[in-house]
Every structure is written in structure tokens, then in C-alpha cells.
Structure 1
Amino acid sequence: MAKLVGDAVVLLSGGVDSAALAAFTRPALALFVDYGQIPARAEARASRAIADRLGVPYRAVRLPLNDFGGGLLLDGVPLDDAPSPEWWPYRNQFLGTAGAAIALQHNLTKVLLGSVRGDGDRHMDGSPQFYRALTTLTSLQEGSVQVEAPALELTTVELVRKARLDSAILALTVSCHRAARPCGDCPGCWKRQQVFAELDVFQPTVTSNA
């Protein structure tokens, strides 16, 4: 296995937040996880293109969680306890744990997720409390891997600006929860539209029929 430079794995979904985090931190490895989400193929293409553009080593893995999911990212039907339409139970816990296992394979010590300010208002696994608890759990185990969300105090726009993410990489990102092409009518698309507007970046209006 090739030796990597650095100490961190960034979970790169292909979205704006994780792309900006990868650009800001320049991790040893960018990791994409196909966990059974509808837009997985589009996210995989985007994440690889972003990693290539940033010059960051890339790895993609499959962790099928279809039997455990729900909401817009799977079948469009929110679960009874869902705090938001796209909520997937324990998703960041699964992903953070998977990232920690991959980190150990590469002798890395950190896993970085792209949660930003306000994510914890939509679901608990985007909150500071969640990340404190998860990193306590993983650091107790062999390898003492830390699971962190360095941008929790920043908005997406602030993170993009801090990372100096250029428009070419922004154009590669995907955010839709429902389809390979933007549906224009899901929380991911709405957030992307708002962020691009605040950044004064052109966004194509081509949408799917999802």
C-alpha cells in the first residue's frame, strides 16, 4: 500500500461542504463512501474529479446501508423520527466509523467530516456534541483515531471562502438528494442554490424530472 503524506482522511461526498474542507485541509486521502444513497454514482464521479483537481489521493468504498436508511436519499419516505426529509439514521456514525477503519489501514490518525454550522439544528449527527462523543469512542479503541468536523463553527459560504475554493471546483460539486442531476426541489438543491447565490457563482439550471 502506497505511503500517504499527512495524517487525515477527509470524507468527500462530492458536495460543496466536503469539497471545501478537502481544499482547506489538503488531506492525505479523500474517501468516498457509497452507502446506498440514490445519487451515489453522481457523487462518486464528482468526488473523484474534485480529488484529482486538488491533487489528493482518492479511494472509493462500498458500505451498503440500504436496509438501515430512509428519506430522500433512499426511497423518499421520511422515517417517523426524521428531523429532516433527507435524514438517514446514524449516517455520520456509520461513515465516521468506516473512515476510522480506512484511516487505520493507511496509518492515519484523523477522519474529517464536512459538517458545518447549522447542521446540528437539522440532525444530531451534525452537532458538536455528536462529534465529541464519536471521537471519544473511536479514540478509546486501537489506533486512537480522532473523528472531527473542523468547520462546525463556519457556514458553508464562510468555509468556501476560507478554503479559497475556486469556481471550477464548485462547478464539479453535486448536492441533490434525489437524482444524478439536480432536481431543484430538495434540501440539497435549495442549499446549493443559496450558497451559489451568496458567492455570486453561476449555477446551471438544468434539472432532472425526479
Structure 2
Amino acid sequence: MKGILLSGGMDSTTLAYLEQPDIAFNINYGQLPAKAEREASRKVCRELNIQLVEIDIDCSSLGSGDLAGKGKLDVGAESDWWPYRNQLLITLSATKALTLGCKELIIGTVASDSYHKDGSPEFIDRINALISFQEGGLIITAPGIKYSASDLIKIAKLPPHLLAMTHSCHKANLPCFECRGCNKHQNTLDDLGVL
């Protein structure tokens, strides 16, 4: 069985369309846009006929940056950095995935995410080694890690109506048009020639 960590954003939605996993995991970990991410994930899963598992665990007191509505930490590269966020989300979803019989967990990371170490190929290799070393042998994959968001969407031939379901804002449940997530979303649409 194959699962995917689905935020409801462009990258994980594209990979859900391309990879057709059996199950998706959406996590409300206390991030500001949790409601919109959850709704986007629900729509995508309904459209693709993928079972959605919703995980709720409030980690907002641990967060920083745009996603937590707090200031940028000195150690993070950008305003959207939340310490160990991908490690946390992978661990939480892997824990549930293993109990449901998954053998692979797909992560929606693309090339531009490597500006944070936990979005880099090296991180994916290391977290896969750690998770797969443990009981159950669950593997972590990031099939989009070599591609830009727009290239991945082109390769997958993602239908425009699915792209329209996604939510990318880091600060709110409605796009703020100012954060790195909104900027990436707009730049990707520009690259694709979408108005």
C-alpha cells in the first residue's frame, strides 16, 4: 500500500494525481492555514478517489515563522521556516501509515524546497534511512524532488481544475498574496501560462 503526505498544495496534489496512492494523510499541526489545507485535501481526495486520513495534533507552541504567525528565527533561512517541520510531519504520518499497512510514504517536495535543509535530497535520503531502518520497513520517497513545481505539473499533466483546488498560502486560509507560498503559487501559474 502506498500513502502520501497531502498538504493540499500544488506539489503534493500533483504527486497524488501522478502516483495514485491508496491513502493520503493530511495533518493539522496548528499551522495558520490548516482549515484551507484540510479542505483542499478533502476536495483532491474526493476527485481522485483516495482515502483521506486526517490527523490533528496541536504543535503551534513549537512553531515559528509565517505558518505559526510568529517572527522568523535567526537560524532559519526564510520567513516560512518552522524548526524540524518536515521531520515532524513525516514522523506523524509515517506512524499512522505503518499502522494501516503502507510500505511507501510519498512526500511532496520539489527542487525549490531545498532552500530549507529538510526539503533537500540529502534530508530525504537521511529520513528514509531512519524510518526504513525501524520496524515495518516503511520507505520515504520524494518523486518530485528533481523538478520545479511547474515542470512537475507539466510532467503529470495535472488537470487545471485540480490545480484550482490547491491552497498554498502560509499565513491564512485565504491567500495573502504576500508570503513565500503565495509567491511560489503565482510564479508557478506564470510559468504554466495560467491567468
Alignment TM-score, normalising by the size of structure 2: 0.97
Q: Secondary structure at the match of 2:68?
A: coil
How is 1:173-188 mapped onto 2 (pairs within 5 angstroms)? 173-188=166-181
1:126 aligns with 2:119: yes
Distance (whole Å) between structure 1 residues aligned to residue 158 and residue 41 of structure 2? 14
What residue identity is the alignment partner of 2:88?
A: F
Q: Aligned with 1:195: secondary structure?
A: helix
Tell me what 1:147 maps to. 140
Provide the C-alpha distance between the structure 2 equivalents of 1:76 and 1:178, rounded to a whole number of angstroms. 10
Structure 1: 4+ residue segments shifted above 4 A:
none
2:128 counterpart (131, 135, 141): 135
Secondary structure of the structure 1 residue equivalent to 2:74? coil
Cα distance in 2, alignment partners of residues 184 and 164 from structure 1: 25
Deviation of 1:106 after TM superposition, in Å, equals 1.1
Q: Matches of 2:73 and 2:88 in 1, distance apart? A: 18
The Cα of 1:76 is off from its aligned counterpart by 3.4
Give distance in 1, aligned partners of 2:106 and 2:20: 11
Which structure shows the higher helix fraction?
2
Once the two structures are TM-superposed, the CA of residue 30 in structure 1 deviates from its matched residue by 1.1
**1:88 counterpart = 2:88:** no
Deviations 1:43-95 (A, max 9, x none): 10011001111111111111221121100000231112111100011111011
Residue 168 (structure 2) pairs with residue 172 (structure 1): no
Match of 1:65 in 2: 59
The secondary structure found in structure 1 opposite 2:131 is helix
> Which amino acid is 1:47 matched to?
S
1:78 aligns with 2:92: no
- Contact kept? 1:9, 1:99, Cα under 8 Å: no
* Unmatched runs of 5 consecutive residues or more in structure 1: 1-6, 203-210
Q: 2:50 aligns with which of 56, 63, 66?
A: 56
Whichever residue aligns with residue 92 of structure 2, its letter is A
- Amino acid in structure 2 at the alignment position of 1:18: S
Deviation at 1:118, TM superposition (A): 2.2
Identity %, equivalent residues? 38
Q: Which digits, 9 at most, give the CA deviation of each residue in 1:78-115, with x for residues without a partner? A: 11211110001111101111121111111111111110
Task: Please report the RMSD computed on the Cα atoms of aligned residues, expressed in angstroms.
Answer: 0.9
Of 163, 175, 183 in structure 2, the residue corresponding to residue 190 of structure 1 is 183
Deviation at 1:159, TM superposition (A): 0.8
SS in 2 for 1:59: strand
Report the counterpart of residue 16 of structure 1 in structure 2.
Answer: 10
Amino acid at match of 2:156: A
Single out whichever of 61-70 and 81-90 deviates more from structure 2. Answer: 61-70
Secondary structure, aligned partner of 2:172 = coil
Q: How many Å separate the matches in 1 of 2:145 and 2:4?
A: 15
Within 2, Cα distance between the matches of 1:186 and 1:15? 14
